[in-house]
Chain A
């Protein structure tokens, strides 16, 4: 393939992958929802879970996006410096979003700020959002794609604590979001927490935390223990499906962290709704792809 053909091929693959993501939840989320559904016993919670599972079945059968809010697409790239299309990635992803918008179809979700009009194709200034990590001595690319609706984007919050607030301050900050905006963000939620120095570093980490597969843990023992304590603590609040009360509130809590300035603790929280439309796909240097998030899917 010459470069033009390669670009076309990868654009088509990504457009198809985005469409699949909008219709089918990743394996880990499906499994967790099945587990949580079985643990609810109230008629209200059971009715809501029944609707959720019927919906996912219908989405596949009718080949439609399972949630109407297909988000502003976000891509987290781990791109090898020698990946042949490194320079074309932004164009490829933008074109793939435009194509998926028509083919899936996705809702038009990109409104230009200040001029306040909907671009009608999900592409605008800075959208889709693309976050880069460059990997040395590597010729492959790893892509996390994510479509978050407005509902679970609203609870997002970041602030900088004084060190005197300690980790207790982090706990309180996260827990407060759960009962203010969290219950309207379509629980059971996936909660991402970033712990760093400042608002932007913590905020990006809190979103990256949502890209981790369920069941993964922070490699730091204390951070991992806080993930578990927050998960148990938020579950005890009993938000249940849709925040209408139940035995559980969350699918998981993921913390991502960096070192911090001695004078500050930056903390941020991001939530993913039950319809956590995340996809993970890898391409090698010959553009052979491998999907790790959705088994049995071929594009």
Chain B
């Protein structure tokens, strides 16, 4: 096995050279949960985001968080949500915030690919449904912003250590793992459909 590849925030453009789709990496530093409405506020409402994301990572996620008094919080369970929901906003979001790592679930589309290429960023996937594993990789929630959005949508500013595994789905060269896989999946699907359809002539 090769050495564990760990990115540390603030992430610089050159840190992302030589990282390609399908690679497994880990993150140490700051990871901020950010999903549907926060994207909308930044891109559509033009509201300044209360966390400076330059060089940092965002996580498409709606966690379960437990208040532990004194305006402090504990991460109970946090896992990625479907990234594609943010596709509509992600290019402008990356441009406006300077975020370097987008952590989520499933693939994203051409807007995000363009952003990753143009502004040097990565989209990576954390294995979804592994929310307790992810929570144990959060050392501390340092801040909570836009709490008016409710627990899932609040910007939870997390300090993380070796957060991962993160599988690179879009790299800075503009390659898109899921889109490339989809071509293969669709070819295999067509073949499977043909095979099955030979055996389902039930209406005669």
Q: A52-B127, A67-B129 are contacts. A183–B62 as well, Cβ < 8 Å?
A: no
A213 at the interface (CB under 8 A from B): no
A69 at the interface (CB under 8 A from B): yes
Contact with B along A256-269 (1 / 0, CB 8 A): 00000000000000
Pick out which of these stretches binds chain B: A103-111, A199-207, A289-297: A103-111
User: Which label, helix, strand, loop or mixed, suits the secondary structure of the B interface?
Assistant: mixed
C-alpha spacing A151/B35, complex, angstroms: 14
A54 pairs with B133, CB closer than 8 A? yes
Q: A54-B133, A68-B61 are contacts. A175–B193 as well, Cβ < 8 Å?
A: yes
A183 pairs with B178, CB closer than 8 A? yes
B189 pairs with A237, CB closer than 8 A? yes
B158 at the interface (CB under 8 A from A): no
A166 pairs with B178, CB closer than 8 A? no
C-alpha spacing A244/B168, complex, angstroms: 10
Identify A48's interface contact among B107, B127, B184, CB under 8 A: B127
Identify B105's interface contact among A59, A184, A232, A233, CB under 8 A: A184
C-alpha spacing A70/B78, complex, angstroms: 11
Q: A64-B76, A68-B62, A107-B64 are contacts. A167–B200 as well, Cβ < 8 Å?
A: yes
A68 pairs with B84, CB closer than 8 A? no
C-alpha spacing A94/B191, complex, angstroms: 47
B22 pairs with A44, CB closer than 8 A? yes
A166 pairs with B201, CB closer than 8 A? yes
Least Cβ–Cβ distance between A217 and chain B, in angstroms: 16
A225 pairs with B203, CB closer than 8 A? no
Q: A51-B165, A108-B152, A171-B200 are contacts. A151–B186 as well, Cβ < 8 Å?
A: no
C-alpha spacing A47/B107, complex, angstroms: 18
Q: A171-B200, A226-B200, A237-B189 are contacts. A183–B131 as well, Cβ < 8 Å?
A: no
Q: Which residues of B contact A68 (CB under 8 A)?
A: 61-64, 77-79, 131
Q: Which residues of A contact B127 (CB under 8 A)?
A: 48, 51-52, 55, 241-242
Least Cβ–Cβ distance between A238 and chain B, in angstroms: 6
User: Which label, helix, strand, loop or mixed, suits the secondary structure of the A interface?
Assistant: helix
Interface residues of B in 79-137 (CB under 8 A from A): 79, 81-82, 84, 105-107, 125, 127-133, 135-136
Considering the complex, give the chain B residue whose CB is closest to the CB of A236: B192
Considering the complex, give the chain A residue whose CB is closest to the CB of B150: A118
Q: Which residues of A contact B193 (CB under 8 A)?
A: 171-172, 175, 233
B68 at the interface (CB under 8 A from A): no
Contact with A along B141-152 (1 / 0, CB 8 A): 000000000111
A184 pairs with B197, CB closer than 8 A? no
Interface residues of A in 200-244 (CB under 8 A from B): 222, 225-226, 229-230, 232-234, 236-239, 241-244
Interface residues of A in 56-110 (CB under 8 A from B): 58-59, 62, 64-70, 105-109
C-alpha spacing A64/B79, complex, angstroms: 13
Considering the complex, give the chain B residue whose CB is closest to the CB of A104: B64
Interface residues of B in 148-200 (CB under 8 A from A): 150-152, 165, 167, 177-178, 181-182, 184-186, 188-189, 191-193, 195-197, 199-200
A150 pairs with B133, CB closer than 8 A? no
B106 pairs with A243, CB closer than 8 A? yes
B5 at the interface (CB under 8 A from A): no
C-alpha spacing A292/B77, complex, angstroms: 27
C-alpha spacing A13/B24, complex, angstroms: 43
Least Cβ–Cβ distance between B106 and chain A, in angstroms: 3
A67 pairs with B192, CB closer than 8 A? no
A154 pairs with B82, CB closer than 8 A? yes
C-alpha spacing A27/B81, complex, angstroms: 26
Considering the complex, give the chain B residue whose CB is closest to the CB of A168: B197
Considering the complex, give the chain A residue whose CB is closest to the CB of B200: A167
Q: Which residues of A contact B199 (CB under 8 A)?
A: 225, 229
Q: A171-B193, A179-B186, A239-B185 are contacts. A65–B129 as well, Cβ < 8 Å?
A: no
A67 pairs with B196, CB closer than 8 A? no
Q: A44-B24, A68-B62, A241-B127 are contacts. A178–B189 as well, Cβ < 8 Å?
A: yes
A282 at the interface (CB under 8 A from B): no
What would 15 A/B residue contacts be, using CB atoms closer than 8 Å?
A: A44-B167, A47-B24, A55-B133, A64-B64, A64-B135, A107-B152, A150-B82, A167-B202, A168-B200, A184-B82, A229-B199, A232-B192, A234-B192, A238-B188, A242-B106
Residues of A in contact with B (beta carbons under 8 Å apart): 44, 47-48, 51-52, 54-55, 58-59, 62, 64-70, 105-109, 118, 120, 150-151, 154, 163, 166-168, 170-172, 175-176, 178-179, 183-184, 186, 222, 225-226, 229-230, 232-234, 236-239, 241-245, 273-275
